[in-house]
Structure 1
Amino acid sequence: MDAMQMALPIVGIVAAAAVTFYAVSFAEIREKSFEDLEDKDFESGGFKPSFSSRQRRARRKADKEGRK
């Protein structure tokens, strides 16, 4: 058996293991960051979600009507 024939599957297995490790690590980091985000106190100046497009349109319309 040629050395290349043995090395190629081993390199493939190592590469798949590395990709899996990084994918799982990033998934855990993302999950932890969402948990931290949920734990923040929104009322004390923490994270404030942005308005939806409907809310922005309604606010602009109310501002325009208030100016008239």
Structure 2
Amino acid sequence: MDAMQVGLPILGIVAVAAITFYAVSFAEIREKSFRDLEDSESENVGFKSSMSSRKRRASRKAEKQDKF
């Protein structure tokens, strides 16, 4: 048998195994990050949003009006 006839299928199997490994690893990492996010939200330690620009403008306008 020629070396290409044996080597090519083996190379294909190794490539598919590597792609599967990375796909499963990334899926597990994504699931873990979503679980961590849900856990942090349930503890109320999660992301705190800053004031929106509309609220900032309204508070500045109120401060200016209070000065006069």
Identity %: 60
Give the whole-Å Cα distance in 2 for the aligned partners of 1:49 and 1:27: 27
| Aligned position for 1:2 | 2
Question: Could you list the per-position Cα deviations for residues 17-48 of structure 1 after superposition, in whole angstroms to 9, with x for gaps in the alignment?
Answer: 11111111111121112112211211xxx122
User: Deviation of residue 56 (structure 1)?
Assistant: 1.8
Q: Which runs of 5+ in 1 are unaligned?
A: none
**Cα RMSD (Å) of the superposition?**
1.9
Distance 1:2 1:50, change over 3 A: farther
Q: TM-score, normalised by structure 1?
A: 0.69
Unaligned runs of 5+ in 2: none
Shift of the 38–20 alpha-carbon distance from structure 1 to 2, 3 Å rule, reads same
- Matches for 1:1-68 after TM superposition, within 5 Å: 1-40=1-40, 41-42=43-44, 46-51=45-50, 56-68=52-64
Segments of 4+ in structure 1 off by > 2 A? none
User: How many equivalent residue pairs?
Assistant: 62
User: Quick one: structure 1 residues 50 and 9, their matched pair in 2 at CA, closer, same or farther if it must change by over 3 Å?
Assistant: farther
Question: Matched residues in 1 for 2:8 and 2:48: separation?
Answer: 49
CA drift of 1:49 comes to 4.3
